[in-house]
Structure 1
């Protein structure tokens, strides 16, 4: 009887392991999207950068670091900053209840935001998120497929994001963080608008991945609305 019980326990444990693996795989295909808007010229940003580094290791989270440009005048120009990243943050603010952009700011699934300095708070907001309500999206090779389920209330944007696969450390010579070496995870290098999704099945061919970079595709309500679907390679 003891051997039989041990066998049953082993089978149960294996089953739970398979369920957990399946859950992680499903999460990787439809992750919670956490966008950090940050600047190397912002003295308040390093704690949020460090928290994004921790989140970037979770397969159920798509962590993205967008470097903005409006603090460049403080003495250090962010080496990753791009005006289109600043515009993306500015577009988010009205729906999130903010009159102007600020750093650091983590935007979660386009629905809610926080400064991102308290990792426990960030994880609490992530845990409270509902599953993305949009279509199933798959990325195979250089082809993205979007199915016809979860029709949007109106036309949705399709965004291609290219980001660094790992960690980048940047020594800052001037400005508010002078003398510090700041770690960054999943630094976004390019943000490209690919077109629109109107609820019908759609396939897109996207550029091949670059060395040491990954690609992500976001289907998102227009004008900085909620993210409906996400996938990364």
Structure 2
């Protein structure tokens, strides 16, 4: 694990009525969001990347890979890194009671975290994550509708996330992973705050994605709070 000190501030029988209710709840439940903060310049990160690839096959989990920039000085500039991804990780640190950012880090639903190299620990956090059913989200090609729900203490953020659903192989020529080819999945390319949500129904429009990227929407407590709801196309 690499840590950056605090300079940077997851016979057939018909179902009973209760069974139908359980099915409806499952259908409406948002996926558990697992975010990986990683870097191509970090020698500890390849096992976490591999674990995210395994998790990406689960229908109940939305995996997102955010490439941070603070290890670029070690000799290899991450080809997916953006400062806003580094800032997103830093926003989590006070709420997770950490003194600084590190890689690889996985954050589950914005509330629990672990080093991303132990799949059993990640699965434990996913199993223990609180089911999320509110607010409801309806996602179209260029608009998202957010339903009503309990009003958050402060306005929640609505994030537009554009990510690549394909497996991407990146040859690394320099730095700690020099001479290796690193596989990545669900690499985030864009992160945009569409606006806020205060418990009342609302909707936001955005430009449609013309290429190969997928779109996800996260409703999240402000400044790296709990993920309240999520969906993807």
TM-score relative to the length of structure 2? 0.89
User: Could you say which residue in structure 2 is the equivalent of 1:4?
Assistant: none
Between stretches 202-211 and 183-192, larger displacement belongs to 202-211
Preserved contact between residue 92 and residue 110 of structure 1 (Cα < 8 Å): yes
Which residues in structure 2 correspond to 1:110-129 (within 5 Å)? 110-129=110-129
Residues paired across the two proteins, number: 220
1:105 counterpart = 2:105: yes
Task: Give unmatched runs, 5+ long, in structure 1.
Answer: 1-8
Which residues in structure 2 correspond to 1:191-206 (within 5 Å)? 191-206=191-206
* 3-state SS of 2:210 partner: coil
Cα deviation for residue 209 of structure 1 reads 2.2
Preserved contact between residue 25 and residue 133 of structure 2 (Cα < 8 Å): no
Preserved contact between residue 134 and residue 151 of structure 1 (Cα < 8 Å): no
Between stretches 136-145 and 194-203, larger displacement belongs to 136-145
User: Could you say which residue in structure 2 is the equivalent of 1:75?
Assistant: 75
Listed one character per residue, the Cα deviations across residues 90-135 of structure 1 (whole Å, up to 9, x for unaligned) are 1100110111100000000000100110111101100001112631
Listed one character per residue, the Cα deviations across residues 161-203 of structure 1 (whole Å, up to 9, x for unaligned) are 0000111110101100011111100000000011111111001
1:161 counterpart = 2:161: yes
Quick one: distance in 2 between partners of 1:74 and 1:128? 36
Quick one: distance in 1 between partners of 2:232 and 2:129? 19
Which residues in structure 2 correspond to 1:1-233 (within 5 Å)? 9=11, 11-12=12-13, 26=27, 30-132=30-132, 134-233=134-233
More helix by percentage = 1
Preserved contact between residue 51 and residue 119 of structure 1 (Cα < 8 Å): yes
* 3-state SS of 1:58 partner: coil
Quick one: distance in 1 between partners of 2:75 and 2:30? 39
Q: Using a 3 Å threshold, how does the CA distance of structure 1 residues 73 and 85 change in structure 2: closer, same or farther?
A: same
Quick one: distance in 1 between partners of 2:83 and 2:134? 28
* 3-state SS of 2:124 partner: helix
User: Could you say which residue in structure 1 is the equivalent of 2:6?
Assistant: none
Cα deviation for residue 69 of structure 1 reads 0.2
Quick one: distance in 2 between partners of 1:25 and 1:214? 22
Q: Using a 3 Å threshold, how does the CA distance of structure 1 residues 57 and 24 change in structure 2: closer, same or farther?
A: farther
Larger CA Rg, structure 1 vs 2: 1
Task: Give unmatched runs, 5+ long, in structure 2.
Answer: 1-10
Cα deviation for residue 137 of structure 1 reads 1.1
